[in-house]
Each structure stands twice: as C-alpha cells, then as structure tokens.
Amino acid sequence: PFGLSASVGMGRFSTCNTSEDYASLKKYVQVDMEWATNLIKLLESDLSIVRQLKVKLNQGIMINGSRVKLNYSTDSVNDKQGEQNYVSTSIN
C-alpha cells in the first residue's frame, strides 16, 4: 500500500543512537498487471496514439482465408463455463 515508500529491514533496539547506511538500499518495482492492461487499452483507444505506432507482425497469428486470427488476446474474457470469448479489433 505504500509503493516506493515501503521497505522491510532488520533492526535492533539499543541505548545508543546509530546511523544506518542506506546507500546500498535497492528498490524494486513490480507493476500491477490489471493496471498495465487498463493503461494499454486506454492507449490503444486513442487514435492519435495508434497512428504513431510502428506495426510488427505477431508470430502468434493464424491466417484463415481472408481472415487473421490471434491465438491469444488480452481482450479475451472467460464466461461462466470457462469458454473464452474474444473481442474483434478493427485495424482499418
């Protein structure tokens, strides 16, 4: 809950004042996946941003006639029976 302000360390109680060397303290940040996915969706919904993107062919696609299908998607949703429903995304 405290983000970059959070840390865990060892200490001891003493009657003397001591100073600690925090120069070697390292912080590690792990981004919440739900937050990252929502940020990606927000950026993808902004056409002015999408037009600036360089497009690279995804190696996970399957070509079926005139259609291209992606084997996995960040937009998929599991329904109550565990089936995955996919949202189509236009690239026009």
* pLDDT digit string, tens, across residues 29-87: 788 888 898 999 999 899 999 899 888 888 888 888 888 887 766 655 556 666 666 66
Cα Rg of the chain (Å, integer): 23
Contact 71, 59 (CB under 8 A): no
Of 4, 9, 45, the closest CA to residue 24 belongs to 9
pTM beyond 0.75: the answer is no
